[in-house]
Structure 1
């Protein structure tokens, strides 16, 4: 699965493609393929070695298979040997040299017109414009729509695969699959309640830096995520789409919250780094904090990165 058309061109002209084909390798389209479960799905209960960072549950296209991340050298030697093998046991590794010059094939790039406003955007039936999000209010009110444990991945939030990938440019449709692996009722409940909150444990949003894991929940009305800790890129994506990322000042407070609890969160003190959450169902106050910069707070208040940029240039 070459990374780009340019890589394919280089491999053909350098002769490297012939070596792979003669060795029995299957060459797939240079696109999102095996990493999202499309192409070369392993057998049931099998083990597969991958050289790219996609080893989440079911990502190979086979729910019961296990995927291990390895170096290209380990993958190549293991494929030849038929089992997981240390490449150093095959002797000295060949010297890998970078090409003197990388090929550039940009003949499919359509340059912009001088006056962008005169361009008509033609969208197919499965392509919808991004929803516009409103500025952040001073207070957030709503219900805990979902409470999750530690290490929730972006695949848990926004599943991947052949069924969902074609909807990547259709936010209303792809949003119907949010948290499908955790609670299939979440999208309908979120729309019915006009949004609400998610409460989670450690490392929320780990894994692939998939912006749909922020866009789709936001479309369904997600207002804030309150957790013990965030994965870095997931936090940045939430800010970019106007979802408030908050953490417990005292992580033990996680156990005081249940799904269905009603919250009132005062955001007027967001700049101070301290935010008060009132759990109206339990009748208790919970202190929250965040790691947001001044700019990130400005982006959140604008409703996300796109409205923030529009404000800057209007």
Structure 2
């Protein structure tokens, strides 16, 4: 019997267990990535485990989340990450070099490889045929040290794409359609594999948009074939040597097949407060918009930004709209600054934001009270924008530009009915400048690791007691995300200091929870959390488990 792409990659990497759906297997990890919001804890754990050097083919530490300096904590963490990387054999991508997933796709990702990242949107790498999985920092630390990553051998759902997207309909609309079909729950231990004649019409950036936001399905990861399109992309990045073709066998089987005709798709949006709350833009009836933000690891590629520039060229944004645009990487920013596209964006009235995660995690660009914010990012959880009363709608770059120009959430085909759809092609050669990716030290013994006062040791835990004797410390509902449990934004700077960060557990749900739980712990009373479906969905931020553990939570 033939194999699908998922089986081909996983089976070639299994070091423990048998390739049978539902069974636990351990796989060899070829590459790892971390970002600064989760990376500090991952490297503290790496050190605590006693490893002296990474054993992967490539490990990269990115700084892209907390690049806003408010207090000393972020800058201290960045210096810790840089020195740890130098000492242990890890590449270090400096602040300003770009978002981890965009940069990794450009400079390191390779078809057929496994990638484990301490960020839930690591599946971006599936756009070039990787098995790329988001995980907790401890899993990544073990993988960096040469240990296997354990997962449940997945079911594979095939999404067969046919046809071709019509003008002003985009890859974002593809993944929003998949979310509409599969929802955000009930998809654990599943991998989505894309196939069909429609795949050839999608470039690597478009495929990566789809696999990136596939994380919102709750699946292990998503993957596309590696084909001629993949080869051209890698060649343009001076990395054609990384290319290997990768397709499912003709007689490959799947646990489920979903068929989508790209030519029938309509522009869509994910409405508040879930990426799975999907409506067509026609249904939005011209909802007034206050803010539009274009960027994030989902939609900030060269293709995305060039399309935005072409759609904005010669036009001005609506007077009551604030528009921000962030390129996904320094490579993209450099190229659009040289070819004139950046000038077209600036001339429209847009604000140019740093090549970082920024607004997506709520550490900047918080909208006004009761605002309607249209964003090209991947999550619109309650309060994630930094303004609890705001309503965040997720759309494609095409729809975001239409909203910025019209001041309304509308189908972009209504705004651009007289405009020819911009056809953006991948350049034959991207601008290559890796000077902001620092190589590890050739003399690691001479590297002294910097530790600021905010950086602590990973907390220890005791074995689960034979008898749980406690109280229900909080009762919450369905779809409680990691953002509900551990707020991001201005709290993320405490990610290296568990006792401090734990003070904000369930801050938006029940501000008194942390103090109550800690008092119970001091008195020997176990804390229990009662929750509904899909508790803990969203980010791979392991602080959502570590901080409640620190407060004495013994059961969810």
User: What TM bracket, shorter-length normalisation?
Assistant: 0.5 to 0.7
Distance in 1 separating the partners of 2:467 and 2:346: 58
> 1:29-85: per-residue Cα shift (whole Å, max 9, x none)?
223322233433333222111110231222223222211111110001121122112
Q: Are residues 1:18 and 2:343 paired?
A: yes
Distance in 1 separating the partners of 2:459 and 2:443: 24
Out of 542, 551, 556, the position equivalent to 1:211 is: 542
Q: Secondary structure of 2:370's partner?
A: coil
> Where does residue 255 of structure 1 map in the other structure?
none
Q: Give 1:204 shift.
A: 0.9
Q: Secondary structure of 1:193's partner?
A: helix
Q: Give 1:137 shift.
A: 4.0
Q: Secondary structure of 1:141's partner?
A: coil
Q: Are residues 1:145 and 2:473 paired?
A: yes
Distance in 1 separating the partners of 2:453 and 2:469: 33
> Where does residue 434 of structure 2 map in the other structure?
106
> Where does residue 183 of structure 1 map in the other structure?
510
> 1:122-152: per-residue Cα shift (whole Å, max 9, x none)?
2111222322445x44735242322222121
Q: Are residues 1:171 and 2:502 paired?
A: no
Relative to structure 1, the CA distance from residue 176 to residue 47 in structure 2 (aligned partners, 3 Å threshold; closer, same or farther) is same
Relative to structure 1, the CA distance from residue 118 to residue 132 in structure 2 (aligned partners, 3 Å threshold; closer, same or farther) is farther
Q: Secondary structure of 2:344's partner?
A: helix
| Aligned partners of 2:364 and 2:489 also within 8 Å | no
Q: Are residues 1:76 and 2:401 paired?
A: yes
> Where does residue 255 of structure 2 map in the other structure?
none
Distance in 2 separating the partners of 1:224 and 1:196: 7
Distance in 2 separating the partners of 1:102 and 1:129: 41
Q: Are residues 1:222 and 2:549 paired?
A: no
Q: Are residues 1:57 and 2:408 paired?
A: no
Relative to structure 1, the CA distance from residue 7 to residue 215 in structure 2 (aligned partners, 3 Å threshold; closer, same or farther) is farther
Relative to structure 1, the CA distance from residue 118 to residue 187 in structure 2 (aligned partners, 3 Å threshold; closer, same or farther) is farther
> Where does residue 193 of structure 1 map in the other structure?
520
Distance in 2 separating the partners of 1:115 and 1:140: 51
Q: Are residues 1:33 and 2:353 paired?
A: no
How large is the RMSD of aligned CA atoms in angstroms?
2.4
Relative to structure 1, the CA distance from residue 40 to residue 118 in structure 2 (aligned partners, 3 Å threshold; closer, same or farther) is closer
Query: Structure 1: 5+ residue runs without aligned partners?
Result: 226-314
| Aligned partners of 2:363 and 2:488 also within 8 Å | no
Relative to structure 1, the CA distance from residue 149 to residue 24 in structure 2 (aligned partners, 3 Å threshold; closer, same or farther) is same
Distance in 1 separating the partners of 2:445 and 2:530: 42
Out of 426, 440, 449, the position equivalent to 1:121 is: 449
Q: Give 1:115 shift.
A: 6.7
Distance in 2 separating the partners of 1:105 and 1:191: 49
Relative to structure 1, the CA distance from residue 210 to residue 101 in structure 2 (aligned partners, 3 Å threshold; closer, same or farther) is farther
Query: Structure 2: 5+ residue runs without aligned partners?
Result: 1-325
TM (norm. structure 2) is 0.37
Distance in 1 separating the partners of 2:360 and 2:343: 24
Q: How does 1:147-162 map to 2 (within 5 A)?
A: 147-162=475-490
Distance in 2 separating the partners of 1:176 and 1:44: 25
Distance in 1 separating the partners of 2:332 and 2:553: 40
Q: Secondary structure of 1:203's partner?
A: coil
| Aligned partners of 2:473 and 2:529 also within 8 Å | yes
Which deviates more from structure 2 when the two are superposed, residues 66-75 or residues 97-106?
97-106
TM (norm. structure 1) is 0.63
Q: Give 1:156 shift.
A: 1.1
Distance in 2 separating the partners of 1:150 and 1:181: 15
Question: Size of the alignment, in residue pairs?
Answer: 223
> 1:83-129: per-residue Cα shift (whole Å, max 9, x none)?
11211222342112223334443323333345756643221112223
| Aligned partners of 1:37 and 1:59 also within 8 Å | yes
Distance in 2 separating the partners of 1:184 and 1:100: 53
Relative to structure 1, the CA distance from residue 98 to residue 198 in structure 2 (aligned partners, 3 Å threshold; closer, same or farther) is same
Distance in 2 separating the partners of 1:104 and 1:145: 53
Q: Are residues 1:95 and 2:411 paired?
A: no
